[in-house]
Every structure is written in C-alpha cells, then in structure tokens.
Amino acid sequence: MDRQRINDRGSADRRSASSRSPSAEAAAILRIMTVPGIGWAAIRRLRRCLGPLDRVPPAAVAQLRVVEGIPGRLLVDIADALSATPCSATAERLATEYRLLEAHSASIVLRGERRYPPSLQELYDPPELLFAQGDYEPARDPIAVAIVGTRWPTAYGRLVAGKLAAELSALGITIVSGLARGIDAEAHSAALRPKGGRTIAVLGSGLGKLYPTEHAELAERISENGAILSELLPSTPPRPGHFPRRNRIIAALGLGVVVVEAPERSGALITAREAIDVGRDVFAIPGNVTSRNSIGSNRLIKDGAYLVEDFRDIISVLEPRIRRFTPPAPRGSRPGDAPDQIADSGDPRSLPI
C-alpha cells in the first residue's frame, strides 16, 4: 500500500527538531529539576502559584513559606537553582545536564508547547518536560501502537513481536516501546525494517545513561528514524522505580498496547494497566499455557484484552481511531478504495487504508 494513505508523514510539519535551544520556561524547569526531591507535582504547584517560572525573581521564591506542601528548605534550594549565580554544586549539575543534551543533540519539549504530545495530557501525572533525541515531532507520529513484553522471550515471542511490528510499520504506524532487552528491542528493530518505518523508545533513564548499554547501536538507528524520549534529566542512571513510571508514557503515546509474552509480574502488565487508565485498547498474544512467559498475557485475554493472531486483529479494533488521522482519499479514487476492505487484504503493504 501507499504509506501516505494511513499516515501522511510527507506533509507533516517538520520544523524543530532542529532547534536545540530550550524556551526560557523550559530552562527554568530544568534548573528546578536539579534540586533533589523535586518531582512533577511540585513543579506544577510552583507554576500554579507563581506563574511562568522564568519570570519569577529568585528572591520571591525564597521568601515563600508554603507552596502547597513543598518544604521551606526545598524552596530555598529552588531559589538557588533559579538564581543567576547558583551555588557551585548547582552550577556543576546544570553544566553536566547541558553537556549531555549537547552530546546527544537532544532538545527539550515543554508541556504546553506545540511539540508536546497531546496524548500525554491525558495522564494523571504528565511530565512537564520531555528530553527528545532524534527526529521528534508529534505530527509525524499521530498513529502509533505500543508493543511490549518480557525481557526474556521465547523464540515464539520474538517471532510474533517482530512480525507484528514490521507489518504495522509497513502500514505507516509508528511502533512505541521501552528499549528494554527482549520484546522491546525486537519491536524497535522490526519497525525499522520497512522503508520509512518509524519507532519511538521511552527510557527509564536519562538520555546520557542509556540502558541497557548493549542497545547503543539500536538507539542510534532509532534516533535516525524516530525518537528517543525521557522525562528524566540526561544524567539520571537507570533505577528500578523509573521503569514502571515510564510505562505510563509508553501507554499514552499509542492508540493501543500489545502485550507479547508477559510473566505474572511483568512490567508489561503495568503498561497494560496504564493503557486502560487512559482509555487505550489492550491487546495480547495468546501463549503456551505451560510457559511462565504466557501467564500474564493469557490472563489479560481472560480479563477482556483483545486476542491477537495477526495485525488485522489490531487494525480492526483501532480502525475508528485511525480514520480520524487518515488523509482524504486522492481525487479520482473509487469508493471501493476506502478502508472498509482491511479485513479482506493479505499483504499489509497492499491494505487500502
């Protein structure tokens, strides 16, 4: 099929991505992020209380006694971070973050700006900033599907994940995952096989602390044909608590989440729950009932997730949402060229979407 029919990437706005200089507000938030103990909730409170943070005199922050529960000692540290002459430790932390951003040719995406993904606004705790490496522009990836699963897949799991990712990518659908070992890596790699295929990786570490390190080459390919995103400062190392939180971003970026092989306590099941919370469809690949890798995914199906045998099962469910993003058919096209024939087509590249 013509990829342009399902996702008109050729006409998408391609600005940006080139400009690496953050807005004044984004730079102010980055400064505040270097204060230990400050999270998104606290930054939102500051923005509500003080307005645009780039316009707040540091002295005004230091004089505040209470900002909806932010301890006074943290307000003092925030004032220091916003100061034109912060203490040496703060200045060094800021310098480190900017060095890493520059090294990775990364940009900062502020919530409320044009480049911020609209779908993340639906989260209960949306990131106020995203750090983006690569060709990132939400208008280029309006139709995306997340594919996630265990870090220790069977050969069957790898085969199915790769097949689904390649077929969906051939339709112009962006594949989202977490760059973890196993299913995630297979999904990213397979998404890049079709010409023009795109994929987005969401990290549980900063851009300057890629994890796992053996995926450096894959990450480079992703940044050339998609993007790598993180809500964490570039110098942030991977920690166990980061990965469950990044799963909410993976879930929200796609129209649906496909779980391929998930043990009983798999992080992929967290992504599925996050998807339900933001109104996304959840799909699961049925697996061997004697395999521990299938316990979670099979249970999702029992609990109401859509059973997937091939890519058509995903397209048939998501078709109403896909139609919202599909460009009008070219002049002269016949009624029979519409998406109604999806289920009858064989080769995904020939689907008349």
Q: For residues 155-177, b (16+ Cβ closer than 10 Å) or e, as one string?
A: ebbbebbbebbbbbbbbbbbbbb
Distance, in Å, from the CA atom of 294 to the CA atom of 156, rounded to the nearest integer, reads 11
Q: CATH 3.40.190.10: does it fit domain 134-315?
A: no
- Please name which of 317, 266, 304, 263 lies closest in space to residue 287, comparing C-alpha atoms: 263
Contact indicator for 1, 338 with CB cutoff of 8 Å = no
Instruction: Look up the pTM and report it.
Output: 0.86
Break the chain into its structural domains and give their ranges: 24-103, 134-315
Token code pair at residue 195: 């010409």
Token code pair at residue 171: 């339709």
The CA–CA distances, whole Å, from 96 to 171, 208, 314 equal 41, 10, 43
| Residue-by-residue pLDDT tens, the chain, 353 positions | 344 434 444 333 333 333 467 899 999 999 999 999 899 999 998 888 888 888 887 777 766 666 767 888 888 898 889 888 889 999 999 999 999 999 999 999 999 899 999 999 999 999 999 999 998 888 889 999 999 999 999 999 999 999 999 999 999 999 999 999 999 999 999 999 999 999 999 999 999 999 999 999 999 999 999 999 999 999 999 999 999 999 999 999 999 999 999 999 899 999 999 999 999 999 999 999 999 999 999 999 999 999 999 999 999 999 998 887 765 444 343 433 333 333 333 444 434 33
3-state secondary structure of 39: coil
250 contact partners, CB below 8 Å, separation of at least 6 = 146, 148, 176, 177, 178, 202, 257, 271, 274
